Amino acid sequence: MATRAAQKRLTREYKSISENPPPYITAHPSESNILEWHYIITGPEDTPYHDGQYWGTLIFPPNYPFAPPAIRMHTPSGRFQPSSRLCLSISDFHPRSFNPAWEVSTILIGLLSFMTSEEMTTGSVSASETERKYHAARSRWWNSTGGGSHLKADRAAGKGNVKAGDGGHKFKSEWPEVDEQNWKWMKDNKVDAATGNKADNGASCRPQLGIAAGSGHQTHAVVDAVIQQRDAGQGWLFKNKLLLAGGLIFIYVLIARLLGEGGLQG
């Protein structure tokens, strides 16, 4: 339970960050616990995280601001291990270095700054720019479906469950309007809610062979068989067309000569 000082301080900070949110950042405390804050970082331009939606939590100690929060990012990003505590100078890994003058906005700006750097620490990971762009493109899907687990009712979220497998329930409970926007985005962009992949929009103009996906060897075998049937159908005539053409010319010349000789004799 938060102390009166923490309650007062966090209430004031919520008012401040709501009225003047830092660029790319939005945050609020949970309705049931003012010590549990949820944030969303929108990936800045000119970074591999551009337009990604990164959701995480700040869990403040009861004696805040005299001790720092635990910081986690739940959305896969290619920068941090999902839902792992991050070792930063502004996190609970370093309580002695925390400055009580720092606010929620200060902490989240520091997190964003670290995210867009390449510095490594406990809870961070190394990934390529391509991998990070891949996670950014799937971040809205991941947040609102719990990584595609929304179809599995037996994995319904328990209180505090924010990892993949909760069906997106925790995210929806904290960000209902954002969740609604995410589902609309998935529908508009034809994103498969089960996999996070975009559906194939274009119908193929090629004939379908009725072969199950992934059966590459079978596909080649059928194509080879079709080619063989085509060759067999055209058969000897197609392969020996030059010989046939020469024979027809020879017969034509022979007939012409015979007709010519007959005319002279007449």
Which residues belong to the active site?
87
Q: Which amino acid is at 261?
A: E
55 DSSP β-pair partners: 40
Reference 57, options 78, 90, 30, 19; nearest CA is 30
Reference 57, options 115, 111, 119, 20; nearest CA is 111
Which is it for the CA torsion 4, 5, 6, 8, positive or negative? positive
31: left (phi over 0), alpha (psi -120 to 50) or beta: alpha
CB under 8 Å to 102, separation ≥6 — which residues?
A: 65, 68, 90
